[in-house]
Chains A and B, each alone.
Chain A
Amino acid sequence: MGGFGHYLLSHLDTMRREFWFLFVGGVANGFLYGMVAVGYTLVYGVLRLINFAHSEIFMSGGFAGYFVMKAMIGPTVPSGFATVYLIVIGIVVGGVVGAAIATLVERVAYRPLRRRHAPALAYLISAIGASYFLFNLAGKEFGRYSISVPQPYVNHTVFTIFGAPVQLYYLVILIAGVIMFVGLDRIVAKTKLGRGIRAVAQDAETASLMGVNIDRTIAMTFIVGGALGGAAGFLFGLGTGVVFTMGFTPALKAFTAAVLGGIGNLRGAMIGGLLLGVVESLSVVFVQAAYIDVVAFGILVAVLLIRPTGILGERLGRAA
């Protein structure tokens, strides 16, 4: 007991000292997980399937952002208005490319199966094939190595919170994340498209009888989810760099976040993402950095065992 007690106390002390520092990083990561998790949850809502190709939508957003930054940033690091402008461009391009790839995946890997009423197993396999094809093709065309993205700003501490520095990079993610989450929440709750998505999620057959174009709604769901995933890919690449396999781990964690919050539930995905980001970041105190990915996996298994419906519960098709 003495040994373990000492172990726990010393780690708790580290935790007390490092808490805010880790918390800030965790929130930033959490926003990224949330943005990707939203894509899983939306597609799950309308198709009742996990979109295994979502990781590659994230990856394509990362690469799109990289090429835009590379083309637009000269030898000097931009500042001021140019920074804001470049970040917005990066997010938009990442989002557009993500949406385009998502549409492509839907058209090629999902729609022919849907026309045929294929069994669900076929969708999963087809989506895995798509994911596999896309990231290996990216590896061939862009090289199988990691590369850092040209920075649109000099990353510095903007302000401190309880002594913990908040970097500009984190602030960018935070602002972009809040805007995207609120926007998405409103789109799903208020617009005609959102009503369509909710209707298809509740009961596709009835929705179709009520005049909802199912094909179009499903395509739009992929576009919306893909746009957020692609934008998240750009933001992730900005901090970590891009590589053709970059989608795998963040996507697995985002899926964990979606399940944690309650799959099919938009707000759940966002909360799940934040929670996972923070928990994962704080777990650094207790486990070695190499095992961080194991923590997320442990959370996934634990949630599936204890409460498979997640924190907020599955709420397919209800307003947000």
Chain B
Amino acid sequence: MMMTIFQNLSVRRFLSSVAVVAVIAVMTGPAGSTEAPTAGFTGSFSEKSSFFGLFETIRWVPFLFIAVVFFAVWTLWLSRGEQLKGGVSKALAAPRSATQRRPVRWGITLVFLFVAIILPHVISDPFWQAAMVEQIGVYILLAIGLNVVVGFAGLLDLGFVAFYAIGAYTTAWVTGALPTPPLFGIHMDPFFAIPIAILIAMLAGIILGAPTLRLRGDYLAIVTLGFGEIITIFANNLYGITGGSQGTAVIPHFSLHLGPIKYLWGLTPVPYYYLTLVFVVLFLAAFSLLEHSRVGRAWTAIREDEVAAESVGINPLKYKVMAFAIGASTAGFAGVVTASQSNNIFPSSFTLQFSINILVLVIFGGMGSIVGVVLGAIVIQTGSMFLLHSPPAGYQPSDLYIYLGALLMVMMIFRPAGLIPSRRRRREIRLSEAGEGHADEVLTGEQP
């Protein structure tokens, strides 16, 4: 092994390894300021720190070590012998693995469901119980919603937070927590807000999507990006309607009055956990069915080759708007859950950061792969909560977004299909890279 490394040395590759590790050192290092702009950079290398409490040393020593190891692994990886390059035929002939057989899948699903049900009894730390609802459950909902837009239909929506905000503010409106009189003049339970929020978010999605989806896909990205900001501006400035930056009045918790059964979801996270779990399971089931339905197949067809899809009678605009509206309504629904669970909503919680965070969950897990997206959401959100709960030295909560941005780039460069790729998606990406087909070409659509 050592011989292989020595036979394949390259100065350029070594410098690249050092550069990559240096960037990681800066990312994880101390923060700087405009007064001392170099403090963060120099501190990242010259500061003393202890890694996992193992040994205390100046930071550049372990990082140089990491760089050397990284370089060695990279060199070995490159010299692992010529890969068999099957190209198109390899992409087409990917066999079904054991995990893709139906009984196995059902087994895995049941195991996961069982784990999900007993989880709040295993984890009793209130921080993690709250995180499981607010930061994982709701984010899974949002991620599978965005997956319909990005994964199934191949459209990039960067303003997903807007629909989430619409859902949350609709809840506040319906339950009478806004300065404006509530809908129908009565203070309703958040449960009644669900259909209304879904409807309004869907309408917003259609109004925004219908004109924009006619155009090239990257215009959609930038229009949604702008829309996400606009919604925040309105929420911040329409004092008379939204309560402005002060946020809303208290939004009631969910409560159930079915004849003799009366139940009020309170401040403890566990009842909310089970409620969110039910919602997540319902949405997962619905989207799994949707994926293989006529509509799902239409999305695949449009994604892979819009012109061909159109020529067999699929109306691309109709199906794109549909995907966009379904994604929007899922976000609106998640907004209801958050609004009712957290009691107050503020415009400052609906930021671009949020949209990108959800996008990272989808990309990391695997566009178009429901299992992947759910696992991606769990992994990333647990990771970010872990960083928040017990931050390493020099870590500030906002640093998370540096990591998320880097992760987006790294995924696109090395594993565009995600952690657990959807079979179809991986095939498309491979075919596209081999010069076959037009998957995700964004550029199709009505060219102006």
A143 with B409, Cβ < 8 A, contacts A121-B440, A137-B402, A304-B219 known: no
Q: Which of A249, A291, A301 contacts B211 (CB 8 A)?
A: A301
Nearest-neighbour CB distance to chain A for B271, whole angstroms, equals 35
Cβ–Cβ contact A109 & B32, under 8 A: no
Q: Which of A112, A118, A133, A291 contacts B432 (CB 8 A)?
A: A118
A144 within 8 A of B: yes
A126 within 8 A of B: yes
Nearest-neighbour CB distance to chain B for A313, whole angstroms, equals 9
Interface code B403-441, partner A: CB below 8 Å = 1, 0 otherwise?
Answer: 011111111110010000000000011001111000111
Interface code B162-184, partner A: CB below 8 Å = 1, 0 otherwise?
Answer: 00000000000000000000000
Cβ–Cβ contact B432 & A117, under 8 A: yes
Cβ–Cβ contact A117 & B435, under 8 A: yes
Nearest-neighbour CB distance to chain A for B391, whole angstroms, equals 13
Q: Which of B2-10, B229-237, B249-257, B376-384 contacts A (4 or more CB under 8 A)?
A: B229-237
Q: Give the distance in Å from the alpha carbon of A289 to the alpha carbon of B222 in the complex.
A: 23
Nearest-neighbour CB distance to chain B for A134, whole angstroms, equals 7
B269 within 8 A of A: no
Q: Give the distance in Å from the alpha carbon of A11 to the alpha carbon of B404 in the complex.
A: 47
Q: Give the distance in Å from the alpha carbon of A50 to the alpha carbon of B215 in the complex.
A: 14
Q: Which of B215, B223, B412 contacts A129 (CB 8 A)?
A: B412
A309 within 8 A of B: yes
Cβ–Cβ contact B409 & A130, under 8 A: yes
Query: In chain A, residues 79-130, which have Cβ atoms closer than 8 Å to a Cβ of chain B?
Result: 108-109, 112-113, 116-126, 128-130
Interface code A51-79, partner B: CB below 8 Å = 1, 0 otherwise?
Answer: 01000000000000011001000000000
Residue numbers in B under 8 Å from A67 (CB-CB): 37
Residue numbers in B under 8 Å from A109 (CB-CB): 409, 412-413
A125 with B233, Cβ < 8 A, contacts A113-B413, A141-B41 known: no
Cβ–Cβ contact B237 & A291, under 8 A: yes
Q: Give the distance in Å from the alpha carbon of A308 to the alpha carbon of B227 in the complex.
A: 18
How many of B's residues come within 8 Å of A, CB to CB?
63
Cβ–Cβ contact A142 & B222, under 8 A: no
Cβ–Cβ contact B363 & A125, under 8 A: yes
Q: Give the distance in Å from the alpha carbon of A309 to the alpha carbon of B448 in the complex.
A: 6
Nearest-neighbour CB distance to chain B for A69, whole angstroms, equals 12
A279 within 8 A of B: no
Nearest-neighbour CB distance to chain B for A279, whole angstroms, equals 16
Q: Which of A112, A128, A293 contacts B158 (CB 8 A)?
A: A128
Residue of B nearest to A307 (CB): B448
Which residues from chain A sit less than 8 Å from chain B, CB to CB? 48-50, 52, 66-67, 70, 108-109, 112-113, 116-126, 128-134, 136-137, 139-145, 147, 248-249, 252, 255, 259, 288, 290-291, 293-294, 297, 300-301, 304-305, 308-309, 314
Which residues from chain B sit less than 8 Å from chain A, CB to CB? 26-27, 31-34, 37, 40-41, 150, 154, 156, 158, 211-212, 215, 217-219, 221-223, 225-227, 229-230, 233-234, 236-237, 352, 356, 359, 363, 396, 398-399, 401-402, 404-413, 416, 428-429, 432-435, 439-443, 448
